[in-house]
Structure 1
Amino acid sequence: MALPQQRAAVSAPAFVRRLARLGDLEQPSAGPALSERLGQWIDWNRAIALSRALDGTPASASHPIQVDSEAAACARVRATLHAAILRSDKLDALPADDAAPFRRHCVDLQRSMQASTGQLRGRLRDALATGTADQARLAEVDAVMEMTLSPREQALLAATPSLLVRHFDRLKLAHADAPGDAWRVTFRRDLQDLLLAELEVRFHPIDALLAALRSSPVSGTP
């Protein structure tokens, strides 16, 4: 059964709902407001660093920013990661009745996403730092926010492989007496869809930084 090569982007709330469904968990409630959550997550040191970034007046270099080349680099990385997630031959080579190889496959792709998107985010911040004062300030704020929120984000995303294993075992048990491998097709598609959703989540800050680059009045061309 061939998998479609294109799927719609999934927003962060949809990613969380998909995790809850695969893990057979209750849907998360609205919970506290974002500002309240941030207040719980940011310690004094990070709060001071964030305040300095917001209140400071960075020097404005206003050098031409190569927006097109930065956008092309982001598109290449995104396409490479997207293709890696959808590589059906990788999944076909894994043992069909053992969840452990699928777990390792998921972890490997998560590490690739983390490394590649982290490099892109730093690259875009470096480009913003050479732009206007507002862009340079945004680069500083984003650096502080990444240092503050990245550990929590990684801890949450680290739960994905274990939830996929539970989903695998549940499907396998439910279809123990059924002929064919329809449940395996379902699991592989769920795995790919979840990783694609995670990819979109990881690109949210990159897309925002790229949009800030495009707003530069001194944008150059490669």
Structure 2
Amino acid sequence: MAKAAQPVLGGPEFLRLLARLSDGAMPASSPALTDRLGQWVDWSRAVALSGALGGRLPEPGEAAEAARDVLDDCAQAHASLLASISEDAEAERLLDLAEAAAAPNFASLRQRYRCCSRPSRPPPGDCAAACATSWYKVSPELARLAEVDAVMEQTLTPREHSLLATAPRVLGARFERVHGQPGWRAAFRHDMRTLLLAELQLRFHPIEGLQDALRSH
């Protein structure tokens, strides 16, 4: 009998990777984003969002260059993180040790994952906040976008952090399952690198939206 096709998981690549690496332990579908937002946006957030969408806008000024400087800094941070993930010699060393060990131990690799996904440089949220602050002086349209972005950041950040916290757990369970299998080391390194890159893409997605908005002005 043919095996039933697995439902396709929509949404960001990060979610699809978590579902694949968990070998079916995570649900393949979830409520629509609009339904989730209805649960997440309480009355105080709804009032703030209404004010951001319909409130009085500040007068535009001459700050486009400063806003572009902020985005340039964010782009450099993004590029640096991409390079560090792709060329992570420390992860390779830890995998060498794990391969030689009689008993698998994911603790060091978990710490390495967290170091790569929580860099010392300003995180995307800080970049977005700094950018939004300067946008109040660029144009009324960007000021409105900055207001909405700030409210959505406050609403969605706790959920994003909760989601991102599942990645080391899923990766650790994957490590336990594949350790010792033929070719496991290269396959696991690929999984770890791919998940880190997908997390980076998810975290910097708001920055890309802000960049696109600024380019239109």
The TM-score normalised by the length of structure 1 is 0.82
How far residue 12 of structure 1 moved from its aligned partner, in angstroms, is: 4.9
- The equivalent residue for 1:79 is 79
Is contact 1:23-1:163 (8 Å) kept? yes
- The equivalent residue for 1:161 is 168
- The equivalent residue for 2:154 is 147
- What does residue range 98-117 of structure 1 map to in structure 2 within 5 Å? 98-112=105-119, 115-117=122-124
Give the SS at the match of 1:170.
helix
- The equivalent residue for 1:88 is 88
Answer yes or no: is 1:190 the counterpart of 2:191. Answer: yes
How far residue 35 of structure 1 moved from its aligned partner, in angstroms, is: 2.0
Distance 2:23 2:120 in 1: 25
Distance 1:152 1:89 in 2: 32
- The equivalent residue for 1:125 is 132
How far residue 197 of structure 1 moved from its aligned partner, in angstroms, is: 0.8
- The equivalent residue for 1:215 is 216
Q: State the 4+ residue runs in structure 1 displaced beyond 6 angstroms.
A: none
Give the aligned residue type for 2:189: R
How far residue 172 of structure 1 moved from its aligned partner, in angstroms, is: 1.2
Give the SS at the match of 2:28.
coil
For structure 1, the 5+ residue unaligned runs are 1-10, 217-222
How far residue 69 of structure 1 moved from its aligned partner, in angstroms, is: 2.8
Greater CA drift, 123-132 or 108-117: 108-117
Is contact 1:57-1:133 (8 Å) kept? no
Identity %: 42
How far residue 194 of structure 1 moved from its aligned partner, in angstroms, is: 0.6
Distance 1:111 1:144, change over 3 A: same
Distance 1:28 1:114, change over 3 A: farther
Is contact 2:63-2:134 (8 Å) kept? no
- The equivalent residue for 1:13 is 12
Is contact 2:63-2:135 (8 Å) kept? no
The TM-score normalised by the length of structure 2 is 0.84
Answer yes or no: is 1:172 the counterpart of 2:171. Answer: no
- Asked which structure has the greater RCO (Cα within 8 Å, sep 6+), the reply is 1
Give the aligned residue type for 2:43: W
Is contact 2:71-2:127 (8 Å) kept? no
Distance 2:83 2:12 in 1: 23
For structure 2, the 5+ residue unaligned runs are 1-9, 99-103
